[in-house]
Structure 1
């Protein structure tokens, strides 16, 4: 694929319109994937579906590795370089949740349809998209459904894949179902942590200053909130959930806090982790209770500069589609690719709402803009227009 970047960008409207005939295939894949429960570490049925789709498309080197990732290769005419196109296969929803999808002429609604059933469906449909548009690539396309991405999965799937994939990866594209216009090219430093409180069974409730698990947890939260947080570079602490107690009048003896620290400043997350660990230790000593801190997941900050050719190419692609870029750092697969020095971006395919809620909804028609965007980016990478000279 030796076309110039302007010619690739100018072909986007034609490609978008030419993709309309694959609508039913894409939506069928999205709905079938969406109706397969796939919480983190339980993605095997969804991965099997993806593997079967790859087999039907006649792809090469189809495999499911020890981490449960599903990989397949669409070989290029030269095959000297590998472009990784990946989407995470897990969702935040438990297997007991009703995963039935509801479709109208304009939308699909159901748990995880945007995050990330549609993204995975795009990976499954990409061979037909490439064929429909008559695209011939020089580079190999490595298609990957990645497991163990979210929460405690801590990107274990993509890490395992990159550790064991025998060929170098030239560039990467991470595909999310929502939102169209998303442009992530940096990874934000991140820590997901838990604080667990347990009041010992021999605890003296009559002593002065005795406190139950709720009041102790409140003290921990208040002290964390007193930590000075810089406004630039952007840094924040998010309290995600607090759990304790069983009734109105029973003294709670256990409590749990889940939180996330994010910062664009190198080293800031590690600094805040130290301060939180000190708060936990101090509060445990003061209250004579068992308080533990555990890190569930961590990411390092980094990324491509704004002027990198891949970022420039994406801005031109979105401009042609009349889509305003929404620049945001990532804590997903992109962060691992960046950490390993692989130029990569994360993009979204369509408009959506109610992310990570039971009525998560995507709009169907904008998806074709999203797919045309993905195709144009693949062409640009294959043509060498995203290489940093």
Structure 2
């Protein structure tokens, strides 16, 4: 890949593509796409892939938009993907505005920009008649965020057993995700007798049980293993009826994360022990635990192949951006293939800020660089 050079006519095309990039990005960014409800954005992407020459593109049962190139009977397939869903629940057009430097829109960085640039890189590959020797699978995939639970990439891996490597585009081009952060996410529902705050004073309150539960979870001493990171969080709490009612029901959500399998096991054991202790302490309470998210961290992969992929990604990002590109950990679409022994790394294609906030923005001057990175990466694999 380091020997590959983008042809001069393609570089010239990209250098003059700012208006095309901005036009596509603005169209795509306002389309609502909450996890598990990506239908509108998927239809838009499918229409574009067909327009670009992907007559065999289709939407699968997981709402992935699949554009297979030379994949029939292939024994070696490389996946390039960017996710369609955003963290925001909006079902009406997302608010977008532009100033001299930035495009502002919820979800525009995560992951709309990377998706738009992957689509345009695909257009360039088709326009200049690049034909891969091996299978190439270009995917606008669903379900990367939150309770999407990586359903899109799971379906892709299931449907294409010849996949040998996976490249999600997700994030900025100053970092490459090389380690997978796994997570377990739970909803904990607590039911108690409750009652009137004066007349039934002394009855067990579900909020009191929940408070003790949360306090105990926060007493966890995190595993200390060099080169790893482990975290936990209580994200939401709900419960009670009124100020003068002893709460009958309360619910909270809890997660722990780590980029190490042993540390994940440590956190799972601590959580299970805490559940058992709280149930023993409050036998009259009904406590229901529901696993609402399960993301594995990395498994055993070919380290030489993974190292080669990482080095190539950093080389390409630094070649076009002129800035340092670091290695980092993250929870991305890499988690599923890596857990199954398939090498995967995640690279980005823009500079911006405010991910997962409504103040999210993307630096417009970074977009041509991002398209160069994406196109180089894609076409170099066509060339292999």
The answer to whether TM tops 0.5 is: yes
- What is the aligned partner in structure 2 of residue 127 from structure 1? 122
Provide the alpha-carbon RMSD of the alignment: 3.0
3-state SS of paired residue (1:185): strand
- What is the aligned partner in structure 1 of residue 293 from structure 2? 297
Which runs of 5 or more structure 2 residues have no equivalent in the other structure? none
Alignment of 1:264-275 (within 5 A): 264-275=259-270
- What is the aligned partner in structure 2 of residue 168 from structure 1? 162
- What is the aligned partner in structure 1 of residue 311 from structure 2? 312
Q: Does the CA contact (< 8 Å) of 1:12 and 1:373 recur in 2?
A: no
Q: Does the CA contact (< 8 Å) of 1:18 and 1:133 recur in 2?
A: no
Can you list the C-alpha shifts for 1:79-134, whole angstroms capped at 9, x where unaligned?
77432111111111113565121122321111111112222212322222335677
Can you list the C-alpha shifts for 1:249-304, whole angstroms capped at 9, x where unaligned?
44333222222211233233233223212312322332321222222122222266
- What is the aligned partner in structure 2 of residue 53 from structure 1? 48
- What is the aligned partner in structure 1 of residue 179 from structure 2? 186
How far off its partner does 1:200 sit?
Answer: 3.2
Aligned: 1:141 with 2:136: yes
3-state SS of paired residue (1:219): helix
Taking the aligned partners of 1:153 and 1:376, their CA distance within structure 2 comes to 30
- What is the aligned partner in structure 1 of residue 222 from structure 2? 229
Which runs of 5 or more structure 1 residues have no equivalent in the other structure? 385-389
Provide closer, same or farther for how the CA distance between residues 152 and 209 of structure 1 changes in structure 2, counting only shifts above 3 A: same
- What is the aligned partner in structure 2 of residue 387 from structure 1? none
Can you list the C-alpha shifts for 1:123-175, whole angstroms capped at 9, x where unaligned?
3222223356775643343111111222222111221222123x612322101
- What is the aligned partner in structure 1 of residue 358 from structure 2? 358
Provide closer, same or farther for how the CA distance between residues 23 and 247 of structure 1 changes in structure 2, counting only shifts above 3 A: farther
Taking the aligned partners of 2:26 and 2:37, their CA distance within structure 1 comes to 18
- What is the aligned partner in structure 2 of residue 337 from structure 1? 337
Q: Does the CA contact (< 8 Å) of 1:187 and 1:334 recur in 2?
A: yes
3-state SS of paired residue (2:232): strand
Q: Which segment drifts farther, 149-158 or 85-94?
A: 149-158
Taking the aligned partners of 2:13 and 2:20, their CA distance within structure 1 comes to 14
Alignment of 1:205-220 (within 5 A): 210-220=203-213
Taking the aligned partners of 1:262 and 1:137, their CA distance within structure 2 comes to 38
Taking the aligned partners of 2:326 and 2:191, their CA distance within structure 1 comes to 43
Taking the aligned partners of 2:98 and 2:210, their CA distance within structure 1 comes to 43
Taking the aligned partners of 1:132 and 1:60, their CA distance within structure 2 comes to 14
Taking the aligned partners of 1:194 and 1:279, their CA distance within structure 2 comes to 14
Provide closer, same or farther for how the CA distance between residues 12 and 267 of structure 1 changes in structure 2, counting only shifts above 3 A: farther
Taking the aligned partners of 2:243 and 2:381, their CA distance within structure 1 comes to 60
Alignment partner of 1:38 out of 33, 48, 65: 33
Taking the aligned partners of 2:316 and 2:58, their CA distance within structure 1 comes to 32
3-state SS of paired residue (1:218): helix
3-state SS of paired residue (2:238): strand
How far off its partner does 1:21 sit?
Answer: 2.4
3-state SS of paired residue (1:328): strand
Provide closer, same or farther for how the CA distance between residues 228 and 132 of structure 1 changes in structure 2, counting only shifts above 3 A: same
- What is the aligned partner in structure 2 of residue 157 from structure 1? 152
3-state SS of paired residue (1:301): coil
- What is the aligned partner in structure 1 of residue 346 from structure 2? 346
Q: Does the CA contact (< 8 Å) of 2:194 and 2:205 recur in 1?
A: no
Provide closer, same or farther for how the CA distance between residues 16 and 346 of structure 1 changes in structure 2, counting only shifts above 3 A: farther
